[in-house]
Structure 1
Amino acid sequence: MHRYFVVNKPYDMVSQFVSSHDVRLLGELQFDFPEGTHAIGRLDNHSEGLLILTTNKKVTRLLFQGEQPHERTYLVKVKGEMSADTLQRLKEGVPICIAEGVDYVTVPCNVEIVQRPPGLFDHPRELPVNVPHTWLLITLTEGKFHQVRKMVAAVSHRCQRLIRVSIEGLLLGDLPPGAVKEFEEEEFFRLLKIANYKD
């Protein structure tokens, strides 16, 4: 019987249980994960938010390698005030480097300027609120390496905070950093809009 979890991955923690580097690991979370649990769609150590953990090895293929794209939404804080023209460029697609000497133009996506959500947990290295900044909500259907950070850098803004808030209907909600929520299999795949998980 497979098990399915959502974690609010804290800042400065890697999305794995084992590492040869001196880093904070998922095993430091206050939860007894079953053997064989692994992360799906990893977040780097500077990113926060929704991380899927499961014992089911099929989830990566079903979620990220199928013909049907799945939406991922990120709350992003960038330095500086973003103009309407720059926002439009992000929406239409911008060139980013995905490998040495390999440029890629991102697929058009949904981007909007938002207010900092009330109740958002503080970040240990977040700049003071009086420093000019913009909060964005970015929804993608693709996931190149460090794509969101590279996208905002391509339009001359530096990513200061990156929080994944949803994957399809699977929402981070008010889950505190470091907290774990377990889902029943049927609900987990329903929220991810995956119908063929028993095939």
Structure 2
Amino acid sequence: MPTLVLFNKPYGVQSQFRDDDNNKFTPLAEFFDDKSLRVAGRLDATSEGLLLLTADGKLNKAITHPPKANSGRKQGKTYLIQVEGIPTAEQLTQLGRGVMLKDGKTLPAKIKHVSVEDLPIALWPRHPPIRERKSVPDSWLILTIFEGKNRQVRRMTAHVGLPCLRLIRWSVAGFELKDLAVGESVHVSLSREQCQQLGL
């Protein structure tokens, strides 16, 4: 069975192994020695949370290109998003239905406004900490999308007037961050059922 690495990517770490010149962010090579690993779905350096890596090309393709690789089954990606402001019912409806960005309208998504106590994980301190404005409240959203436009989540929330302060990816294609500590990784062997769900 194919093997997948689940990594809780810290803020400021790139989703690539190579260290670009004059780059202020940390490369993945500082966390992994296995040069056969490839990232299955990038995560911006300024975002945190679940990053998947694998040395299996078919598994990588099934996760990153689901329409062709697994008969059109859409693999959702769920994010925990701290935004500036309190979302209105209209803003939540817009995010759920899809918003028009410069590169096209986003697909319908699942969106929920929650309290920090209702997040599926206990949050860790971010370094550096997010900027806080005492005069402006903040909120947490749980958003599941089914595509991967560049910086999509940040652009979606900004589009409806909810600037993103912190972005944590909680799950990808059915794999969850759970209680994995920041900077830690775990190797998992996929079950037959998981392979079937991914179209392998």
- Normalising by the smaller structure, the TM-score range is 0.7 to 0.9
Paired AA for residue 38 in structure 2:
H
Any idea what the Cα deviations from partners look like across 1:167-188, whole Å, max 9, x if unmatched? 132110111110001101337x
**8 Å CA contact retained: 1:170, 1:191:** no
Matched, 1:89 2:94: yes
Q: Distance in 2 between matches of 1:139 and 1:149?
A: 13
**8 Å CA contact retained: 1:168, 1:191:** no
Counterpart in 1 of 2:129?
A: 125
Residue aligned with 1:119, SS = coil
Residue aligned with 1:144, SS = coil
- Provide the aligned C-alpha RMSD in A: 2.1
Residue aligned with 2:194, SS = helix
Counterpart in 1 of 2:190?
A: 185
Q: Distance in 2 between matches of 1:192 and 1:163?
A: 27
Q: Distance in 1 between matches of 2:133 and 2:176?
A: 26
**8 Å CA contact retained: 2:7, 2:52:** yes
Counterpart in 1 of 2:39?
A: 39
- Give structure 1 regions of 4+ aligned residues with deviation exceeding 3 angstroms: 127-131
Q: Give unmatched runs, 5+ long, in structure 1.
A: 99-103
Matched, 1:172 2:174: no
Superposition deviation, residue 2 in structure 1: 5.5
Structure 2 counterparts to residues 2-81 of structure 1, below 5 A: 3-21=3-21, 22=23, 23-29=25-31, 31=32, 33-65=33-65, 66=68, 67-81=72-86
Q: Distance in 2 between matches of 1:151 and 1:114?
A: 18
**8 Å CA contact retained: 2:40, 2:64:** no
Superposition TM-score, scaled by structure 2 size: 0.85
Q: Which moved further from structure 2: 109-118 or 171-180?
A: 109-118
Residue aligned with 2:153, SS = helix
Equivalent residues, number:
188
**8 Å CA contact retained: 2:77, 2:146:** yes
Q: Distance in 1 between matches of 2:95 and 2:113?
A: 12
Counterpart in 1 of 2:109?
A: 109
Which of 164, 167, 175 matches 1:162? 167
Residue aligned with 1:108, SS = coil
Q: Distance in 1 between matches of 2:190 and 2:142?
A: 28
Which of 147, 155, 158 matches 2:152? 147
Paired AA for residue 166 in structure 2:
R
Q: Which moved further from structure 2: 114-123 or 174-183?
A: 114-123
Superposition deviation, residue 64 in structure 1: 3.0
Q: Distance in 1 between matches of 2:18 and 2:89?
A: 43
Superposition TM-score, scaled by structure 1 size: 0.86
Q: Distance in 2 between matches of 1:192 and 1:7?
A: 23
